[in-house]
Amino acid sequence: MNLFLTMLLGGLWHGASWNFVVWGGFHGLFLGLERMGKKFWPGFFSAENGPGILGKFSYRIFVLLAVVLCWVFFRSPNWKTTGIVFEKLFGFSAGADPALSYLRILFIGFFLFFAATWIGNRDEKDGSFRKFYEGLHPALFGILVGIGLLFAVVFSSESQPFIYFVF
């Protein structure tokens, strides 16, 4: 209960909107459920010692989805926008770009997910990704990060003010 109330107050601390309160409440609820689950089912609620690869995979997917869906409440300026986002997420309509087919969006999403998972698993086993980026000259690494940030800013659809300046 303390964890739930702390996260609820953390939501209020982020802003004077019911969206932030709901965001904090959901995070507190999920953290409380996880803590309770670890007490009663310690093997299942552990990403490292879970019930096989399928259990680990499903646990990580659930945690990722829970956190990402909670972020919708955090980032939406009002209830109407929150409703629109959830409608687009679960309404079977392409919200990103109508020119892209559903199959293409699904393929890109699965490709990015499995590529990130493969890179992470490979790095855990032999450190190959870490060896790659640690072997780069610091200046080259900085240039690559700068180019990535430049692309992210230039190709973003619209300018978003810093979240703490919105109040």
What tens digit of pLDDT does each residue of 107-140 get? Answer: 777 887 887 787 777 777 777 777 776 777 778 8
Residue of 3, 10, 14, 105 marked catalytic = 14
Q: Rounded to an integer, what distance in angstroms lies between the CA atom of residue 9 and that of residue 4?
A: 9
pTM of the prediction? 0.50
Q: What pLDDT shows up at residue 166?
A: 61
Catalytic, 14? Answer yes
Q: For the CA atoms of the chain, what is the radius of gyration?
A: 20
CA dihedral (132, 59, 36, 73) positive or negative: positive
How many whole angstroms separate alpha carbon 75 and alpha carbon 11? 12
Q: Which of 23, 112, 117, 48 is nearest to 9 (CA)?
A: 23
- Residues in the chain predicted with pLDDT less than 70, given as ranges, are 43-55, 92-104, 133, 153-167
Spatial distance between the Cα atoms of 80 and 78, rounded to a whole number of angstroms = 6
- Cα(50)–Cα(60) distance, integer angstroms: 10
Distance of alpha carbon 17 from alpha carbon 76, whole angstroms: 10
Q: Indicate the length of the chain as a whole number.
A: 167
